[in-house]
Every structure is written in C-alpha cells, then in structure tokens.
Structure 1
Amino acid sequence: MISQYWHPEQGVVQRRLAWILGDAARAGHHITAVVPPPHYPGGQLMSDDPRNQTGAVDRSTPHFTVYRCRFRPHDASIVSRVQDQAVIMCSQIITASRAIRNARAAGNPVEVIVCTVPALPSAFVAYALSRLHRLPLVVELRDAWPEILEYIDQWNDPQRPTMNPWAKTKRALFHVLLLTGGRALRFVLSRADLLITTTGTLAAEHTRRGHPNVIAVRNRAGSGIPNCNAYPARGFGPLRVFYGGTVGRAQGLTNAIEAVALAKQQGVEVELRITGGGVFVKALERLAHKLAVDVDFTGRIPFEEMVGNYQWADTVLVHLQNWRPMEYTIPSKLFEIMWAEKHVTAAVAGEAAQIVAESQIGDVVPPMDPQALADLWVAIAQDRSRLAVDGRGNAWFRQGSTLEELTDRWVHAIGKVVNAQHQPHSPLSQRTARKAQATFHPVHLLQRISEPLVQPVRRITTAVRKRHSQ
C-alpha cells in the first residue's frame, strides 16, 4: 500500500484505509504500507511515538507492516506542499523496494501494489514499483483526478495576494509541473490493472473512456454516529448552519458567506459555523469581516467532537465548487450527516445532489450561486418544518450496501487481479507482463514519466531568461 496518509492522522482517507484494510487484515490478508510520518494536515510532525518516525518499521499490529519513509515539513502554500510530496515520492520508491525484498526473503512476498490518489505522486511511485517488480497495479482514485487540475488557475493561495516577479515565475513553473503531472497520471491510470473509485459516476466515466477494469466502492460513515436531532425542534431565532470539513480550493465557501450576507439583507439572520482547516480560512475570515456577517471559525476539532456541532445545527452544509469534476465527487461528510439524521443544505451537483434528492434528507441548490443558497435559507427559516427529516438517512442506508459488503467488494476485486496474475495465459497477466517488459529498465521508466515535462519546462525557462535579459 502506497499512500501519503496514514494513522494516527485524522481524515477521510485515513478512516477509509483503516476501515477497509482493517477488515482485510482480519480476514487473513497481510498489508505492507509505505507511508510518511504523520504530518497531515498541518505539515509538521505530529507524533513522538518511535513507531511513527522516519525510518521506523512497525509490526505491532497483526497482519500489518508499516514502513515510514522521509518527508519535508511544509506550510499552507502549494509550492511547499509539492516539495513535500516530491521528497515523499523519492523516499517511498527506495523504502518500498526494500520492503518488497524483505517480504520476499521472509517467504511472504508482496502480490499486488495498491496506491491512493491523491496525492498524485503516490500513483507514480506505485507505477514504478509495479513495473520494476512485475506486480499488478491497483489505483484507488478519489475524486476526478487529474481533471481537477484543469482548474488550477483558481487555486490561488489567499495568504499571498501580491507576489514579486520571481514568485510569479516560480508559481507558473509549479503550475506547469502540476498540469504535466496530471498528464502523467492519465498515463498511469490507463495502465493500471484495476481502478477503484469512490463514486459510481466516476467509475462509469473511466469505463466510458475505455478502461477494462473499474469498480466503485463508496465511502460510508460508521453507524455509531448517533441521531443528532434535538426535540422539540427550534422554531425561532437565527438559522444555525454548520459546515465541517476541509476549507480549501475545491469547497468554494466564499459562496456560503456571500449567501449569509444576502439572507441578512432579506431580514433573516443566519449563524454560520465553519469547523475545519485549509488554505482558504484566512480569506474567508476577511470576507466575513468585510460583509459584516456572523460566521464562527472554530478551527480543526477531533472527529469525536463533530456530534456536538451536528446537535447545535438546524441544517448542515455540504458545499463544492461548480467545476465539472466535482459532479463525480461525493463529500464523505454527506454520509456522516445522513447518519446523524440532520437536514442537509447541499450546494452541489452530480451524484451527491442525486443522493440528497433521492433520500429527501435535505434541499439542493446549484453550487456557487449565492442568491439561490440565500433564498433557500430564508425559506427554511420561515418554515422550520422543512427540517423534519428524521429517519430518512437510515432509510436510504438500508437500501444500499453495508460496510462489510463494500469491503468484500474491494478485497474481491483485488483478489481477482492477483489470481489472474498467477495464471500465465490470462489476458490480465499477459497485459501486466507486456507493460513490465516495456518499462522495466529504471532509465526507461524515468524517461517515460518525465517525458511530458520537458517541453513545458523549456518554455518556462526561456520565458524567465527573456525577462531577465530585458
């Protein structure tokens, strides 16, 4: 398993891996994970445990061997995050190769390489390992990567509103590298033996593009989340809206703050509470101050404290940008809110909007339309009976797959890939062998991955030289 996210970090990816791989381990499978020391999301080492330090090998959990590679501390900027991911990528290739050799020497050889995307470099590491060691490759693809990179011009770091010419040049170079990395990711995805997506629409899209082996295994919240409705329901006072999650580029929460201001102009007070961290927190704070609206920024909180916020809220906000790739995304918080039986304000499109509409757990408005969002909150504040959705979340979950069924689907699909690899005349094993022969030599492998970078980097370098010569 190649990932840049792992326990004891708290996040959607970490919880998904803990759930799926935990069940797989209990079923007798052995997982070797190569991951960096815990430093997500703040960018600084967050554990003193010797098992979590660079170079550590942790075998304390049955059926798990966890190798910790190197990392580079980072701040909130795109540039420093990319630098961290580059360090992790290089270290993971070396560490994982050692782990594969150790497993083979111990008589328990690795049979498949699995990676989680994002982070994008995880795919390149996994691809290199699968070809160098002639193993099948499985990519766990969350969200519509690399298509999201097409919107990179909207990824501005709000903490740096003004930049000197060198900073602008450096950012332009990183933008080119990221876009080229997106093209390289398409190359890797097309050669993966199995793609696992978290939404059905994204799986269907990759199947439409011609990939022969794609399945969807949705995220699911644990059923331990309690019913968070309060009785009797509040029939007066400001409308309480809660958002809990990442405050980043893809969430577009400026739209929500503008909607609070528009609702205020219509005579409706909306108390918006935003819990979570991300690169856009400071920008949102400035916008709330500018518009003179009531927004409470609480910062990050432990996962177990989310229940109290759900109980406080009248409605819980699920919000994404109006970028087309977001239509293939289901925010994991949506399932948590549905388990909590809370009314959902969904400013989303695509599969997430379809779930809210089908379950009747809330109301849907177009993403990035502040007037539509404000009008919805005004309507809810004037008719609180719309908040009575108790039982609808549970009813929707009963119609779908259980956590155990989702894990079985994940493990079974990978098992088919491994079994096909052991059958020399199967189409999958022949496909893997051809790819391994074509890309086995490390120099050739590096050339294939770096090839798309050459021309864009040359163009940037030429532009920089011209600027300095003028």
Structure 2
Amino acid sequence: MGTSPQFFTVCAAWLAATLKRVPWVFEVRDLWPESIRAVGAMGGSVEGDSRAIRALARLARFLYRRADRVVVLTHAFKKNLVAQGIAGARIDVVTNGVDLSRFQPRPREAALVEELGLRGCFVAGYIGTHGMAHGLSTLLDAAALLDKDPGAGDIRLLFLGDGARKAQLVADARSRGLDNVLFLAPVERAEIPRYWSLLDVAVIHLRRSDLFETVIPSKLFECMGMGVPVVHGVRGESADIVRGERIGELFEPEDAPRLAAALVRMRDNRAHSRTGYGAGARTGEPIEDRIDYWELRENCLEAAKRYDRKRLALQMLERIERAVNIRE
C-alpha cells in the first residue's frame, strides 16, 4: 500500500507490487497536484500550470489507473477521481477518525492555565499546521476586531503548532499589538491533549478555494474526541459533518467579522446555558433547531463514537482484503 502525499511512497508501492506480482492499494490523503495548485506553489495557478505540475498530474493518473483499489478520505475526492476517468467501482471512501484512547475529555491543568495566563478567559484555539493553505491571517484579523470590542476582553486566541507561515503570523500579531493572541511552540504529540483541554472552542479554517471544499481537516475529529465545539471556516464536506452532527457553528472562509461574532456568541452561550444558541442552519442564514453550547459538547462526544479510528481501521482492512481477493 502506498499513501499520498507525496508520490515517492506510492511509486515505491507500485514498483514493489509490480516486481512481486501482488496487488496494491493507493491511499489518497490529499489530491496532488490539485492542492499544490490551490496554494500557488510550484508554479501552479488557475491561469496555467508549470511543467512540474503537469508532470505530477500525469504521474497521479498513471498511479490511479494501476492501483487495484484506491482508498480516499472523502466522497468529494472520489468524485474528483471519477471525473478524471478512474472507475468508481475501484474507489472506496474511508474517512479519517480519532484515536479515542488519546483524545478524550480531561480537566484543564490548573498549573498550565496559570502558566499561560488564561485564568478566567474564554479560550478559542487553533491546533495544527500554520501553512499556506490554512489562511490563519483571518484568525488574526478576527482577533484584531475582538481586541477593539470592550465586551470581548476575556476572549483569547491560542495557536499551537508550526509551519511555513508561523513566523510571519507571530510578527504580524506583534506589529498589531494583539495582546489577546498567544502563540505556543510545538509540543510532543503525546502532550497535545493537554492543550486541547484548555480550549472552550476550536477554530478550523482553510483558505477560500474550490479544492478545499473536498477535504476534511483531521483536527475536526480530535475536537469530537475531546468534546470541544468548533467554529468552522471550511466549506464542503467537512461543513456538512459539522452541520449534520451539530457540533459547532459555520462561518465563511476568510470572513474575519463572522468569525469574531461567532466566538462572542459561543462565549456568551457558554456562560448562559440553554439560551437558544444553535448550529442548525446553513452559513449566513437564520439559525434554526437551536441547541446550546453544552449540547454541542455532548454532540461532539457522540459523533466521536461514529468516527472511532478502530472502527475505521477495520473498514480499511476490508478494502485491502478486497484488493487481494480481486487478484486471486
């Protein structure tokens, strides 16, 4: 089995399977070169692609067609591949999930709260890669709006992780004098749940792009396991999960005012249980079927059971066995 991105492991899997004359499975965790094009890297753009991008596209099609089974993370990925001429019968969908042995509700550590100066604060957090695709400047713009709001003085925005854009984000926050933003250095993976437990809500965001409507950020499932509601700025399949599972509020990607307003609503609702806050409507429309913050937390924990990684691993094993049986 080979997993992308990137393609080196997939090429190795194809070569090994060919030499040994055994079946192989291509697991697609991100669409290359589409995701490279979406962020404008390697000369990719909507106007035209570089030779490198075109070469990657040809390689991707070559590998898709030679795999015995293709396993993708989202139904939108499958639709994309079918549009490229890959037979839908050879494509299976197995989503990401959450390791419930690691990500589960836990009390805040008082010492960590004190160390980070978060006592009495409503903490919204972004935990993950600070990359080109994530559009985290929108979060800083929202923080700037909250910084000017006298009624939002207790809201803090915590960033944990690293990536290509982090240094610029830190510099921007400093130059704008944003005292309500806290950047933390990356921690060992085993330590991450300690920081999830600090969050009242998690912010998930990707830049506005048609491609990103096809992805489901893996941190969404960690939110479920930890019981942390989300303020979700990604369109498409992941937004459908947030809406369907009723685990948070949606806002349009790159819309800082709506993000800031959503954080204030979450803060207010957390303080006043059963006040009629809800996440049942489509983005930009009146919210119906209202539920409160504490119901959002309970809904997260119920959703996590449906996305338990152990269950999903069994689904993946079934797909691999199917590939073997086809060859026999």
Task: Place the TM-score, normalised by the shorter chain, in its bin.
Answer: 0.7 to 0.9
Correspondence for 1:221 among 98, 109, 119: 98
Structure 1 equivalent of residue 278 of structure 2:
none
Which deviates further from its counterpart, 114-123 or 220-229? 220-229
Return the alpha-carbon distance in structure 1 between the equivalents of residues 86 and 127 of structure 2: 35
Return the alpha-carbon distance in structure 2 between the equivalents of residues 344 and 279 of structure 1: 24
Q: Deviations over 1:271-326 (max 9, x none)?
A: 11111111111011111112221322212112232222222222111122222221
Matched, 1:419 2:325: yes
Q: Deviations over 1:395-424 (max 9, x none)?
A: 2244x36544422221222222222223xx
Structure 2 equivalent of residue 60 of structure 1:
none
Matched, 1:301 2:187: yes
Matched AA of 1:264: D
Structure 2 equivalent of residue 189 of structure 1:
64
Distance 1:336 1:401, change over 3 A: closer
Q: Matched residue of 1:349: which SS?
A: coil
Structure 1 equivalent of residue 133 of structure 2:
250
Q: Matched residue of 2:65: which SS?
A: helix
Matched, 1:177 2:177: no
Return the alpha-carbon distance in structure 2 between the equivalents of residues 310 and 256 of structure 1: 18
Task: Considering Cα pairs closer than 8 Å and 6+ residues apart, tell me whether 1 or 2 has the greater RCO.
Answer: 2
Q: CA RMSD in A?
A: 2.6
Distance 1:182 1:228, change over 3 A: farther
CA contact (8 A) 2:202 2:229 kept: yes
Q: Matched residue of 1:205: which SS?
A: helix
Matched AA of 1:355: I
Deviation at 1:143, TM superposition (A): 2.4
Matched AA of 2:61: R
Matched, 1:126 2:13: yes
1:29-428 equivalent positions in 2, closer than 5 A: 114-153=1-40, 155=41, 176-212=51-87, 213-224=90-101, 225-228=103-106, 238-267=121-150, 268-269=152-153, 270-293=155-178, 294-384=180-270, 385=273, 386-388=292-294, 389-398=296-305, 400=306, 402-422=308-328
Q: Deviations over 1:217-273 (max 9, x none)?
A: 12211222232467xxxxx95431111111111211111111111222333233111
TM normalised by structure 1 equals 0.56
Return the alpha-carbon distance in structure 1 between the equivalents of residues 212 and 316 of structure 2: 23
Return the alpha-carbon distance in structure 2 between the equivalents of residues 382 and 306 of structure 1: 27
Deviation at 1:133, TM superposition (A): 4.2
Q: Deviations over 1:15-68 (max 9, x none)?
A: xxxxxxxxxxxxxxxxxxxxxxxxxxxxxxxxxxxxxxxxxxxxxxxxxxxxxx
Matched AA of 2:300: G
Distance 1:312 1:115, change over 3 A: same
Return the alpha-carbon distance in structure 2 between the equivalents of residues 256 and 175 of structure 1: 31
CA contact (8 A) 1:144 1:328 kept: no
CA contact (8 A) 1:314 1:387 kept: no
Return the alpha-carbon distance in structure 2 between the equivalents of residues 292 and 365 of structure 1: 25
Matched AA of 1:409: Q
Distance 1:345 1:115, change over 3 A: same
Return the alpha-carbon distance in structure 1 between the equivalents of residues 3 and 322 of structure 2: 19
Distance 1:361 1:146, change over 3 A: same
CA contact (8 A) 1:199 1:330 kept: yes
5+ long unaligned stretches in structure 2: 44-48, 109-118, 274-291
Q: Deviations over 1:79-129 (max 9, x none)?
A: xxxxxxxxxxxxxxxxxxxxxxxxxxxxxxxxxxx1010112222333334
Distance 1:351 1:295, change over 3 A: same
Return the alpha-carbon distance in structure 1 between the equivalents of residues 185 and 212 of structure 2: 24
Structure 1 vs Structure 2: percent identity of aligned residues? Answer: 26
TM normalised by structure 2 equals 0.78
CA contact (8 A) 2:125 2:158 kept: yes
If you compute each CA radius of gyration, which structure gives the higher value, 1 or 2?
A: 1
Return the alpha-carbon distance in structure 2 between the equivalents of residues 190 and 205 of structure 1: 14
CA contact (8 A) 1:320 1:367 kept: yes
Distance 1:189 1:177, change over 3 A: same
Return the alpha-carbon distance in structure 1 between the equivalents of residues 175 and 169 of structure 2: 10
Q: Matched residue of 1:366: which SS?
A: coil
Matched AA of 1:325: L
Deviation at 1:179, TM superposition (A): 4.6
Distance 1:379 1:401, change over 3 A: closer
